[in-house]
A and B are shown apart, each in its own frame.
Chain A
Amino acid sequence: MADETKATEAATPETTTAVAERPAGADRPAGDRPERSERPERSDRDRRPPRPGMGGREGGPGGRKYFRRKKVCKFCTEKIDSINYKDVRLLAQFVAESGKIVPRRLTGVCTPHQRRLSVAIKQARNIALLPFAGRVPQ
């Protein structure tokens, strides 16, 4: 009985302090709660790459498609000079499933080649070698 009372007495100041903290937190919503809410937000921001440089280093192994420096222009490396509207197989590699032209940040093509490629794709679309929308017929 005495032990219990002592234990309860020992426990109560702890609980009271704990309880005291909580109403203190409740009394000061501006102080405690925003701090607690800001901390998870900051860690979330750290998880998502905020700057392109950060994202590039993290985005290599399957992260956000940010800065892929590993990708090189296929036309520059293989020294393909002429991008003709007639070679459908080459053009179809740069066309998505929906028939859209894939942006160069995904394929890694350099700007002058991407411009010629898009001209060739549009010419091929006009002459019914490539579709405007939909899958490429094989």
Chain B
Amino acid sequence: MNRRYELMFIVRPDMVDEDQDKLISTLESAVTSSGGTLNKVEKLGKRRLAYTVRKFHDGVYILLTIDGGGGLIHELERRLRVSEPVIKFLTVRVDEEQKRLDKIKAIRDAKRKAPATPVVPESAAEAPATA
């Protein structure tokens, strides 16, 4: 149940802010009722679409970061597919990618700390002393 997903969906541009918030709150209740957590809600705002979707040229992008299981995502996608103002959605699983990034960061931090300690060879100090 510790899978992290990013759910990005596009809402029609002629939708009011209140309706957007209503939609987000319904999705949030669905998330919490299935035992997941909604971490972040990001509204990326109105953007020009790269191609026409359902005869719309612009759309409001909303990004949700969710912790939960696959069944939860299935349910959310079903709701998004049914809801009329949502014209497109995409779910990406990000916990594996996050693991990889954390690993790289950890390796980099370890590398930064290790060469900071200077290593002095003792043989070089002794040889001129005896000679």
Interface residues of A, Cβ cutoff 8 Å to B:
81-82, 85-86, 123, 125-132, 134, 136-137
Contact = CB atoms under 8 A, between A and B. Distances in A.
A125 B104 CA distance: 28
Contacts of A127: 8, 10, 88-90
Contact of B50 (A82, A85, A123, A128): A128
Interface string B46-66: 011111010000010001000
Interface of B: 8, 10, 47-51, 53, 59, 63, 88-90, 92, 97, 101, 104
A81 B10 contact: no
Tell me the interface secondary structure of chain B in the complex.
strand
Contacts of A125: 50
Contact of A128 (B59, B92, B104): B59
B90 A123 contact: yes
B101 A81 contact: yes
Given A136-B50, A137-B50, A128 B88 contact: yes
